Amino acid sequence: MPLVELTKSVYRCRNLVGGEWRAPHGPHDVVGVHENERDVTSPYTGQLIGRVPMSNAMHVAQAVEGAKRASDGWRNTPIKERTQRMFAYRELLLKCLDELAHTAASEAGKTVAEARAGVLKGVEVVEFALSIQNLDLGGNLEVSRGVTCEYRREPLGVVAGITPFNFPAMVPMWMFPIAVVLGNCFVWKPSEKVPLTACRLGELMLEAGFTNGIFSIVHGGKDAVEAILDHPDVKAVAFVGSSPVAKFVYERASRSGKRALALGGAKNHLIVVPDAEIELTAQSVLDSFTGCAGQRCMAGSVMVAVGDVEPIVARLREKAAAIEVGAQMGAIIDQASLSRITDAIASAEKRGAKVVVDGRGKQPRDAEYKSGTWIGPTILDNVKPDSPAAQVEIFGPVLSIVRVPTLGDAIALEGQSTYGNAASIFTTNGGVAEYVANRVHAGMIGVNVGVPVPREPFSFGGTHESKFGHGDITGHGGIEFWSSLKKITRKWSTQSDSNWMS
């Protein structure tokens, strides 16, 4: 078992290096606090639930070395065999679904239903990875008599993924199932805020046969990330997290010659026009800004109300005020995030926004959760388009309503955002929907859908400061990112009419 019990429910996480669990700071069974460990607390209760090592460059080097040793054997393992191991991993994920969901919920603050959905979305990417063997992995053509050109898809070698706290299982599984099925050895640096789910996923990967360094985990924060970015044997890095770190990761990885794709933060616009269906729109906007307590990059955070949409706003206010925290909505990851959210609300108020639903001070009914980090859904109305509440990512259950007179103003507002992850239009008019979909600049568009996450095999990715790098993550974009094309030109005998190009 990689998770060592400190007390009844406090676990010490270890790194997964060369297929073995290792305590970076000493023997794994030593109970006690190490200097370079960080506490993991549950957002539900504020209680200590684990300890995570904050690895340094030496620990990263150990994991990369283990992955490098496995690399030749793994890239030369037939893809059908690699796929069979991934199939075994899928079975294990489904077998352990409830346990994984509870672990992810308790460390990330999600509801169990949300955490479960996150694992299942990860399973969907695993299923896409299982289909890679039947997709276009190469081809050939006789380009002139006796001369054949072939291309084939090859793994990159040792690759890495760095992930955020808000989807402990799903976001990592956007990356590693596709990467390892393609023959890469994967080193994962999970968020130090949610390392317990990472350990469990690591155990299941080992059980499925991804042994000996095919799959590794290095826990930690900034130091571990920088060591990955600078390591010459890491050939590609995928990152998901906030925009400033995404930009930093993309630039530093690119400077050291790596392939890099870094997904960042968001400020997603939900454009609502007067002909929108009242109930569907109010429920979709509510789910979009309160799901995962607003801590997801696809959360709708600005509702752009075009003209008179008062019946929809009224229904939305009613629904938001009725949400029970701790039951229908989860907690905020930590006290620092909660303070950032309440500061953003107070600052919007000072700038003239009206708090029409106030979630500040809301507490769950369950006494066990009283020391958690809570806030209820909050709606700010009449937010000025150029104010921080309309521009800056809050990453909490806060909806800013910006009132505009025309659809053109709504499209212009969306276009001015520094982010470009998602945007949705709510209307019953197909022409209006197409008009907006063609003009907004976000990478993922919804029509009467509040969280327009593309499902597999479609790839996930935004634009502007929501993504640094070319291509998308998951789906076909994932195949492109985690592999390279080798081109082979063959000639077996001299042909009188083969031309100068061969």
Shortest distance, position 248 Cβ to ligand NAD, whole Å: 6
* SS3 of residue 306 by DSSP: strand
Cis peptide preceding 454, ω within 30 of 0: no
Residue 297 designated active-site? yes
- Four-CA torsion 250, 252, 257, 258, nearest 10 degrees: -40
Q: What are the start-end ranges of the E strands in 79-177?
A: 138-144, 147-155, 158-162
**Cα atoms found within 13 Å of the Cα of residue 398, Cβ hemisphere only:** 33
Distances (CA, A) of 124 to 31, 87, 343: 38, 12, 38
Q: What are φ and ψ of residue 232, in 5° steps? A: -65, -20
Give the closest residue to 129 by CA, choosing from 455, 457, 454, 453: 457
Binds ligand NAD (CB under 6 A): choice among 164, 291, 376, 477: 164
Q: What are the start-end ranges of the E strands in 224-290?
A: 234-240, 259-263, 268-272
Shortest distance, position 244 Cβ to ligand NAD, whole Å: 7
Shortest distance, position 340 Cβ to ligand NAD, whole Å: 10
> Which of residues 337 and 427 has its CB atom nearest to ligand NAD in the complex?
337
Query: Cβ distance 426 to 452 under 8 Å?
Result: no
**Residue list 165-184, contact with ligand NAD (CB under 6 A):** 165-167, 171
Binding mask of the shown chain, residues 379 to 408, with x at each position contacting ligand NAD by CB under 6 A: --------------x-x-------------
Q: How is residue 35 annotated by DSSP?
A: T
> Which of residues 164 and 213 has its CB atom nearest to ligand NAD in the complex?
164
Shortest distance, position 131 Cβ to ligand NAD, whole Å: 22
**Would you count residue 302 as binding ligand NAD (CB under 6 A)?**
no
Q: What tokens were used for 220?
A: 């930690």
Query: Cβ distance 124 to 177 under 8 Å?
Result: no
Of these residues, 13, 199, 292, 297, which one is catalytic? Answer: 297
> Which of residues 385 and 469 has its CB atom nearest to ligand NAD in the complex?
469
* SS3 of residue 409 by DSSP: helix
- Give the binding range for ligand NAD (CB under 6 A) out of 138-146, 264-272, 357-365, 487-495: 264-272
Binds ligand NAD (CB under 6 A): choice among 218, 234, 266, 411: 266
Binds ligand NAD (CB under 6 A): choice among 221, 388, 415, 471: 221
Shortest distance, position 454 Cβ to ligand NAD, whole Å: 11
Give the closest residue to 462 by CA, choosing from 431, 496, 421: 421
**Would you count residue 122 as binding ligand NAD (CB under 6 A)?**
no
**Would you count residue 455 as binding ligand NAD (CB under 6 A)?**
no
Q: What are φ and ψ of residue 408, in 5° steps? A: -60, -40
Q: Which residue is nearest to ligand NAD (CB)?
A: 241
Shortest distance, position 114 Cβ to ligand NAD, whole Å: 13
Query: Cβ distance 154 to 40 under 8 Å?
Result: no
> Which of residues 2 and 462 has its CB atom nearest to ligand NAD in the complex?
462
> Which of residues 270 and 305 has its CB atom nearest to ligand NAD in the complex?
270
**Would you count residue 125 as binding ligand NAD (CB under 6 A)?**
no
Binds ligand NAD (CB under 6 A): choice among 100, 119, 245, 375: 245
In angstroms, the CA 181 to CA 1 distance is 25
**Would you count residue 456 as binding ligand NAD (CB under 6 A)?**
no
- Rounded to a whole number of angstroms, the distance between the first and last alpha carbons of the chain is 58
Catalytic center residues = 297
Residues lying near ligand NAD in the complex (CB under 6 A) are found at 162-167, 171, 189, 191-192, 221-222, 225, 240-242, 245, 248, 263-266, 297, 393, 395, 421, 462, 466
